[in-house]
Amino acid sequence: MRTWTCVFLLLLGCGAEPSDSDGGARDAAPVDAGSDSGIEVSCGDEVARQGWSLCEEGGPTCSLVFTDSTGCAAACAALGLTCVESYEDVDAMCAADRSLPALDCADTGHISDFCTCGRAPSPPDAGPVDGGTRDGGPPGEVLAFPSARGAGAYATGGRGGRVIRVTTLASSGPGSLREALTAEGPRIITFAVSGTIVIDSTIVVSNGDFTVAGQTAPRGGITLTGGSRVIELRGVDNFIVRYLRVRPEYSSFDALGLIDCSNYIFDHVSVSFGGDEIMTTRGDTDDLTFQRILMAEGKTGTLFGDSNEPSLSENLSFHHNAYYNVTHRHPNVHTFGRADVYNNVVFNWRFRWSVVIGDVQLNHLANYYSRGCLGTPNGDNSFNKVFYDPTFEPEIHSAGNLVVPDFLTDPAADNWGLWNWRVDVTDGPYAGAGANTQLTRDYQTASAFPLLGPSTSVQSAREAFEDVSTDVGANARLDENGDVVAEVDDLDALYLRNIRSGDCVEYMSSSAGQDFDRTAHYAAFRSSISTTPIATGYADSNEDGIPDAWVTARGFGVDADLTNHVWPSGYVGVEEFLNEVDR
């Protein structure tokens, strides 16, 4: 139909984060309608749900007319298919106007067009897919998952590898998480059971190229606990961890430790009860992202980069995370390279936020700090600290941060008052500067550094508070249809309720001791631990990690092996289902 609509370029301001629902992949090109011709496609239900007109259905393709300016490529993608051909539609008829040139699946801006959708061709090589790139594009063009941001956003994890299903809550043995994590080769770990896994000895992971997809666990999700450090990753490269809870028995150990690890991303993880740090990175640490992690009730927060040798660390992204009742290290930043700390929420700290060590180029942007009810020993100097070393030349851009309720409430105000010396300076040009006094402006930069990773926007601190306080931690799962179901446990519900309301709970945490393990909610959590599964997962006939219901809704048989199927989005096999959680 030759009716045109205006095409708008949506400029995402600081109040919105781009969805990049296609994961950063190139638009899919038209394909041969005969590809995967043995598979009949089914489009009617989704076409009806979208309010479009179904013209033809049967065999390897279906045809439709959209009426809302969607575009054929996007319409077919919504069906889990690829655009095969497109034409202008005949007015008031569900038919192609073939008297006009073909539109070649381009986004025309028309209110309506006629689209034929079919399966993308299978890769010529049925072996493992390496790197997740398509059509000879640049390495890493497909994001770890559509909402991945930061320096770790291009991790491929287990893409193209085998799917390993966790079928037991046992600490070890066949079907256990330990067996899956310590396996070799690319692997995507899904969960056919939910509940609490009591780890009887630290799971030490040394093999990379894996994805942990906690969003696949059924009702109740997956929680890891144990008597000491639950998981430690050593020398691991390329991994993705999502929708997992880590809550060890309170002791003197970190809850989760990473040593000499690179190229990874943690997303929507809940971690509490770390007796040293909650999460910590040490050694050779490069190209990583911590995002939407809820860290609560630990002695300290996070060492981000190696504190002893900051030259070992670079490209560190820390955004949209929340700390609840953690005294300090939110996070400490140690690097001789780039680091971004933005849009985080810190509630009820005590000693300080971050200590910076190294020749860093740091963005410290639009974070939201809420004082809570604890007194801070250094008063208004209990913010960020920098260690002096005559060989370090840190560059710091700090802007848009808020300290509520009453210290820094203007997002346009100068933020340099949030930066102090960590210890007394005894030599060099700043000799005589005392600990907790104003940091020299020689370290201040007027402009922000380009953010690491794929293009994104920074929210205002207030927008970040509203966003993070409603979307952080292991808070969702997928059902058999790929629909997102809220899944927040009692501890996270308590933490987030207090963060949002400002209700403050006093706590003791210092070198003299902590009292996190003496609260009623800690006792309730410990008493609730059971190795009996809460629920079992969806039907998955061929155990490829993809529910039968989701597979058949997209025109495949339940026995179709989709392990190496490349979807129009560029994701491979089960990844397309896993990414439904980003909708």
Catalytic positions are 329
DSSP of 510-531: ETTEE-GGGSHHHHHHHHH--S
Q: Which residues of 121-139 are buried (b: 16+ CB within 10 A; e: fewer)?
A: eeeeeeebbebbbbeeeee
Maximum pairwise Cα distance, the chain: 83
Query: How many Å apart are CA 133 and CA 139, to the nearest integer?
Result: 6
Query: How many Å apart are CA 403 and CA 407, to the nearest integer?
Result: 5
Would you call 533 exposed, middle or buried from its count of C-beta atoms within 10 A (0-12, 13-18, 19+)?
middle
Query: How many Å apart are CA 440 and CA 422, to the nearest integer?
Result: 12
Task: Specify the 3-state DSSP secondary structure of 367.
Answer: coil
Task: Specify the 3-state DSSP secondary structure of 74.
Answer: helix
Q: Which DSSP letter does residue 14 get? A: T
Query: How many Å apart are CA 419 and CA 422, to the nearest integer?
Result: 9
Strand 193-199, strand 222-226: pairing: parallel
14: nearest Cα among 463, 412, 465: 463
Phi-psi group of 482: left, alpha or beta (phi > 0 → left; psi -120 to 50 → alpha; rest → beta): left
> Residue 212's CB: how many other CB atoms inside 10 A?
27
> Residue 528's CB: how many other CB atoms inside 10 A?
12
* 374 in Cβ contact with 342 (< 8 Å): no
> Residue 410's CB: how many other CB atoms inside 10 A?
8
* 361 in Cβ contact with 449 (< 8 Å): yes
